[in-house]
Amino acid sequence: MPPDSLPAKNGNAPAVALAGAEKTESPPLAAPEAARLVSLDAFRGFIMFWIIGGEAIADGLQALTRNPLTTALVYELRHSPWQGLRFYDCIWPSFMLMVGISIPFSLAKRSLTQTSRQLRWHALQRTAVLFLLGSVRESVFLSSPYLIELSSALQPIAIAYLVAFLLARTSAKVQALVAALILAGYALLLAFVPAPGIAAGTYALNHNLVNAVDVALLREHWMRWPYAPEGWGTILSTLPTVSTTLLGLLIGEALRSGRTVRAKLRFLGGAALVCLVAGYAISPVVPIVMKMWTASYGLVSAGWACLMFLVFYVIVDVWGYRKWTFPLVIIGSNAVFIYMLTSVLPVYHLVGIFTEGIAAALGPGGPLFSATCVLVAEWLLLFWMYRRKLFLRA
């Protein structure tokens, strides 16, 4: 059950999609001993909710009634212009973390019926599909074929997933060491390697090593974009995303282990605390910049992602309160499908054909009504698929 989704770099949506449709058993909603983490599906659904409709609903609420609460919510559902961290900046890292967490569970299940060679072949297939789906999304966005994805995080997910899969059979120490070396190496690269006309250690918008490499290698592609890429890194900034996925791999292995529940919670909480303290400690020197995925951003965002998942894990899998997660599980179980659907089809326009008249009559409440209708339509489609045990995976 590796990558089921991920967020878009341009803030429009997340990423990952399908190689084919397969009929499987519905993810369990009650069995404590279930191999599949219900909390992971619920957490994935929670993150996807904001991407496929939650953000638009927040905008609708603000249009209906502007107050400190709606203003703060909308603020958190926008990417930081450059330095800083908001909730929306943690969506992409949350997906990278979930990709890693899912790998040990997926491998344990597949190992019962597949050989090592079959597992490797399956992982390579998934990597290729994810990478090409990123190409499809970019091609649709540009209305012409293009291989390299700039508009979402599908291809970084593909790369990080493959690395995590290859390291899944190594020791936890090796995995942690590789994660630390990648992040530290990337930090040192930005700190000590200059670019033409750019001093080493520069973190300014569109004036840094990450941007310089992208401009040098992808200039022609960027010129085809309908708007400027707003500082998003693509080539170099893919490297540190692997570290967050490897952290997820460590967490997934810990959750599958025979440790006590208390030990598992300590591991999750400790990982979050270490990441947050380390990230904020180095942020005065290495600023928190999502679009460059700086080391401080990688650590802090991973820490917050861990904390969010910890809350879901405690409530859902430790305390056993699962019924309330059903709406989220519906979304999380087919996150791949709904992401690609909203990426390649004008869902708002299609739903608007039937709702725009009512929305216009509602005045300030119109945007909220329209956003709610879109989300309900998407959820009902996902519910229909869930009831028929149809899950689309990469």
pLDDT score recorded for residue 8: 46
pLDDT score recorded for residue 158: 93
Cβ-contact 372, 386 below 8 angstroms: no
Q: Within the chain, how many helices (H) and strands (E) appear?
A: 15, 4
Residue with tokens 């491998």: 107
Distance CA 30, CA 45 (A): 17
Phi, psi torsion values for 70, nearest 5 degrees: -70, -35
Question: Cα 43 to chain center, whole Å?
Answer: 11
b/e burial code for range 251-276 (CB count within 10 A of at least 16 → b)? bbbbbbeeeeeeebbebbeebbeebb
Distance CA 136, CA 142 (A): 10
CB-count burial class (<10 Å; 0-12, 13-18, 19+) for 291: buried
- Residue 69: its H or E element: helix 68-76
Pairing relationship of beta strands 20-23 and 203-204 according to DSSP bridges: unpaired
Rg (CA), the chain: 21
- Residue 20: its H or E element: strand 20-23
The tokens describing 329, both together, are 């599980």
Domain residue ranges in the chain: 20-393
Q: Tens of pLDDT along 174-222?
A: 999 999 999 999 999 999 999 999 999 999 998 999 999 988 888 776 6
- SS3 string, 25-49, reads CCCCCCCCCCCCCHHHHHHHHHHHH
- DSSP β-bridge partners for residue 392: 21
Question: Cα 216 to chain center, whole Å?
Answer: 27
Mean pLDDT taken over the chain: 88
Q: What residue ranges of the chain have pLDDT lower than 50? A: 1-8, 10-34
Distance CA 371, CA 78 (A): 17
pLDDT score recorded for residue 5: 39
Question: Cα 343 to chain center, whole Å?
Answer: 15
Q: Tens of pLDDT along 214-254?
A: 888 887 766 666 555 677 888 899 999 999 999 999 999 99
DSSP state of 290: G
pLDDT score recorded for residue 26: 42
How far is CA 258 from each of CA 253, 261, 367, rounded to the nearest angstrom? 10, 9, 49
| Nearest one of 279, 265, 278 to 307, comparing CA atoms | 265
Distance CA 221, CA 232 (A): 13
Q: Is the pTM of this model over 0.85?
A: yes
